[in-house]
Amino acid sequence: MTSTPTSAAPPLLKGGGKGSTAMLRKIRKVALPYGYLTPTVVLLTILMIIPIVMVVGYSMMNNVIMIKNPVFVGFQHYVEILTSDAFRNALQNTLFFDIVSVVVHLLLGFGFAMMLNSPMLGKVTKSIFRTIYVLPWLFTVAIIAVLWRLLLEPTGVINYLLMTFHLTTTQIEWLSNPDIALYAVTFINIWSGYPFYMTSLLAGLQGIPKDYYEAAEVDGASGWQKLIYITLPQLRPIIIAMALLDFIWTTQQFALIWMTTGGGPLGTTEMLSTYTYKFAFSTYQFGSAAASAVIILVISMVLTYLYVRAQKVKY
Amino acid sequence: MKSEPQRRGKRNPFAMAGLIVALLAGAAFAALPVLWMLSSSFKPNTDIFQNPPHLIPTTFTLDAYTKIFTDPVKVRFFVNSYFISLAVTALTLFVSVLAAFAFSRFDFPFKSALNVVIVSVQAVPPITLLIPYFGLMVGLGLYNTYQGLILTYMVFTLPYAIIMLTGYFNTLPRELDEAVKVDGGSSWTALWRVLVPISVPGLVSVGIYTFMIAWNEYLFALTLTKTVDMRTVPIGIQLLMGQHSYEWNQMMSMSILGCIPVLLLFLFFQRYFIGGMSAGAVKN
């Protein structure tokens, strides 16, 4: 471990000041925590702070990266993007994708967690079903994308099942029909993301003191009343935190869209992330791409601010 | 408490029946797609869209797996993924232990400002960094290298790791490292000989989280590497699509092989897995 390049700083400072003057010892003492923080600070400065400054700079330049002497254009890219139909379309799709994903994730995750927390089930049954329910979580987005492309192929197994049960008479083009594709990718995202809610809510449910329910039973509360007046209020901080986090993550979702529809057909599944990526790596408009990336950064920052504030309310 | 499940079960058979139906429906929803993946990975590619479809392959073959294991290009995807993910995990743990130690055990000017920076960089979306990274990595000579991807992933894993480990160290009494100092040891000794050995559960949790982030990453692996010998598993799976035809059975077997490390981590460290992930989400 000590041979790693990033580890150079702390060992230099470890001497503890033997045989040095009081002044030197004092300097070492002050410098010590900074020594421990040096690798982190260096890495985050070069690969986080500087890139953010760069991207903000790029966003105000014309033809940046592509030509040697880009021109400063101020907020021109921002104005162009914010007033374009393509951006509004991507924003609308992202909002639909985000809101439906978050709401259904929450409902499914809560449903699964309630089932797994049921006192009617034995310990072994619970752990078997918990393992099954957590399965989608074990796959990376790239795998989830190809798996669902296989399942949703027009000649694939899902269409076969739907036709067998006479739910449809024709093969549905799930990912290439402009009227359906957005629902299809949202469904895939729901499938892949609910286990996170389930495990967190299950932990939350197990943390609710049993005597709350016992007291409610003494007062003759129904199952529904217990849910409304005890379970949900107790889970509220977890629910708010997860919904905001999920909203942030879903807004940033790129791989799933890119590998299933690529934003198509006809831009019906275009998200802010794919919209930005295409600016940079399909049409090489790095100035516009940077402006779009900064807009996503601002959205994320606002959401994160809300998240942190919600966390503070909790404690 | 222990008699409660039975008592309630007997009291309400309808609820029990409803629960069983719901449990099984949920299991089908979660597991059938995964079973289909497993099944398809053992089929010849010509049977992938056979009509009617069979969950149990009519022709069982290991062909897809053999093709992956005998193709050095595809084996390389796995080697790359394992190497990068393990390196990111080791380096993240090392660097975050140092930083967490500073945050937990020292008071220094700008401490809270630094802390705010570390918490808030978590919110920076990957796509925002992607555009400057492209130029930056080319400029630093790190484009299409392991180091480039490793350092990139550390930027995303470090903040969480530092926050979690600082929290962990804060729960350990300061008397432990004071004792080392009384014996004439330095803070470096106190950290590595005393704090780290008793922080193993926290380190495992953070390590699993870090490994998974690196193992699953797609956007930067796609953009910051160029040659096929530098590609990781998520990109490799995608490369099986397109060129001539879709090698569905190989994509599925590569997916199965690709989820094995995560599955093993989950089975062996289930407690840390869920604890770490949800604690990170709910607490930090």
> What does the pLDDT average to over B169-174?
88
CA distances from A270 to A85, A88, A266, A274, B151 (A): 12, 10, 9, 6, 30
Find the Cα–Cα–Cα–Cα dihedral B115, B116, B118, B121, rounded to 10°: 180
* Three-class DSSP category at A273: helix
Together in a domain, A17 and A92: no
Together in a domain, A159 and A244: yes
Please write the tens of the pLDDT for every residue from B190-222: 899 889 998 888 899 889 889 988 999 999 999
Residue (of B278, B236, B251, B250) closest to B74 by Cα position: B236
Residue in A119, A122, A148 closest to B8 by CB: A119
* Three-class DSSP category at A61: strand
CB contact under 8 A, A115 and B223: no
Q: Residue A14 falls within a domain, yes or no?
A: yes
Q: What is the CATH number of the domain that holds A165?
A: 1.10.3720.10
CB contact under 8 A, A280 and B130: yes
Q: Residue A63 falls within a domain, yes or no?
A: no
Together in a domain, A12 and A150: no
Together in a domain, A83 and A53: no
- Quick check: A310 pLDDT over 80? no
b vs e for A171-186, b when ≥16 Cβ sit within 10 Å of the residue's Cβ? ebbbbbeeebbbbbbb
Together in a domain, A11 and A143: no
Together in a domain, A102 and A246: yes
Q: Residue A82 falls within a domain, yes or no?
A: yes
Q: Which residues contact B222 (CB under 8 A, 6 or more apart)?
A: B235
- Residue B243 pLDDT class (50, 70, 90 cuts): low
- Residue A1 pLDDT class (50, 70, 90 cuts): very low
Together in a domain, A112 and A26: no
d(CA B164, CA B174): 18
Together in a domain, A136 and A45: no
Please write the tens of the pLDDT for every residue from A229-282: 889 998 888 888 888 888 888 988 999 999 999 888 989 999 999 999 998 888
Residue in B49, B128, B155 closest to A43 by CB: B155
Q: Residue A180 falls within a domain, yes or no?
A: yes
d(CA B67, CA B62): 9
- Quick check: B30 pLDDT over 60? yes
Residue numbers of the domain that contains A40: 5-58
Least confident of A5-14, A82-91, A223-232: A5-14
What distance lies between CA B96 and its chain's CA centroid?
17
Nearest residue of chain A to residue B273 (CA atoms) = A199
Give the minimum alpha-carbon distance from B271 to chain A in angstroms, rounded to a whole number.
11
Together in a domain, A11 and A125: no
Gyration radius (Cα) of chain B, Å: 24
Residue bearing tokens 């408490």? B1
d(CA A196, CA B45): 33
CB contact under 8 A, B129 and A118: no
Together in a domain, A274 and A201: yes
Give the minimum alpha-carbon distance from B122 to chain A in angstroms, rounded to a whole number.
9
> What does the pLDDT average to over B108-120?
87
A61 bridge partner residues: A72
Q: What share of chain B is helix, strand, coil (3-state, %, to 5)?
A: 80, 0, 20
d(CA B232, CA B106): 40
Structure-block tokens of residue A51: 């890139």
A111 and A99 Cβ atoms separated by less than 8 Å: no
CATH tag, B68-283: 1.10.3720.10
Together in a domain, A18 and A101: no
- Residue B238 pLDDT class (50, 70, 90 cuts): confident
CB contact under 8 A, A51 and B129: yes
Q: Residue A302 falls within a domain, yes or no?
A: yes
Phi and psi for A314 in degrees, rounded to 5?
Answer: -65, -40
Residue (of A201, A296, A179, A137) closest to B129 by Cα position: A296
* Three-class DSSP category at A267: coil
Number of folded domains in chain A?
A: 2
In this predicted model, which residue has the larger pLDDT, A52 or B284? A52
Residue (of A14, A9, A13, A12) closest to A43 by Cα position: A9
d(CA A298, CA A309): 16
Residues of chain B with CATH 1.10.3720.10: 68-283
Together in a domain, A87 and A53: no
The mean pLDDT of chain A is 86
Structure-block tokens of residue B36: 């289909």
Give the minimum alpha-carbon distance from B24 to chain A in angstroms, rounded to a whole number.
9
Residue (of A242, A248, A252, A256) closest to A113 by Cα position: A242
Q: Residue A301 falls within a domain, yes or no?
A: yes
Residue B96's pLDDT is: 95
Residue in A37, A48, A204 closest to B99 by CB: A37
CA angle A188, B239, B83 (to 5 degrees): 95
Q: Residue A154 falls within a domain, yes or no?
A: yes
Give the minimum alpha-carbon distance from B167 to chain A in angstroms, rounded to a whole number.
15
CB contact under 8 A, B133 and A47: yes
Residue A313's pLDDT is: 60
CB contact under 8 A, A199 and B53: no
Q: Residue A87 falls within a domain, yes or no?
A: yes
